[in-house]
């Protein structure tokens, strides 16, 4: 929105601030936390950039780019993350062994929580119900898969 309305310099300054935040946080966090510190610094700089842009669009253009139903996936993700965090904390408190040795490979039990997180997240999204636009997209996806399935069945009938 800023680029389309003539605020190119402001957009450039936003990017410059984000790069500076990324470099400073990277220098501070990477030596202590390694790759995770780099990931945290990059994520925080992207969040800062997006927040600055959203605030500037709101103040300069008097527009808000999101509706309240845009928060549903964020809330679903937060709830899912909190539930998985609680599960990890309980595993830690109960002193459950966190890895298995399978041959020469070490398999982390924590990886089993990834599908649990995804299932919980999807279940919450379904529970929160989507916007009318989301329903249109889901309907188009369903139609696409049912058409492919129907075409495969027609090809089998023709071959027989």
Asked which of 36, 65, 94 is the last residue of a domain, the reply is 65
Nearest residue to 8 (alpha-carbon basis) of 41, 55, 67, 56: 56
Higher-pLDDT residue of 130, 115: 115
Amino acid 156: pLDDT: 55
Q: What is the pLDDT of residue 150?
A: 53
Nearest of 71, 65, 66, 67 to residue 125 by alpha carbon: 71
Answer yes or no: is 159 within a domain: no
Write down the pLDDT at residue 34: 92
Pairwise CA distance, residues 31 & 37, whole Å = 8
Structural domain of residue 40, as residue ranges?
1-65
Which of 141, 27, 44, 122 minimizes the C-alpha distance to 77? 122
Residues 143 and 74 in one domain: yes
Q: Does residue 158 lie within any of the structural domains?
A: no
Q: What is the mean pLDDT of residues 78-99?
A: 88
Residues 71 and 138 in one domain: yes
């Amino acid at each position: 929105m800023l680029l389309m309305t003539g605020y190119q310099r402001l957009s450039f300054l936003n990017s410059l601030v984000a790069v500076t935040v990324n470099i400073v946080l990277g220098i501070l966090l990477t030596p202590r936390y390694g790759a995770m510190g780099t990931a945290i610094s990059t994520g925080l700089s992207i969040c800062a950039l997006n927040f600055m842009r959203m605030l500037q669009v709101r103040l300069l253009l008097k527009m808000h780019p999101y509706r309240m139903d845009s928060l549903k996936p964020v809330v679903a993700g937060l709830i899912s993350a909190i539930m998985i965090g609680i599960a990890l904390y309980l595993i830690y408190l109960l002193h459950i062994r966190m890895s298995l040795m399978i041959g020469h490979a070490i398999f982390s039990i924590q990886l089993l929580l990834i599908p649990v997180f995804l299932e919980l997240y999807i279940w919450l999204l379904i529970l929160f119900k989507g916007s009318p636009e989301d329903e249109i997209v889901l309907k188009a996806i369903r139609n696409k898969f049912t058409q492919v399935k129907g075409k495969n069945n027609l090809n089998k009938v023709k071959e027989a």
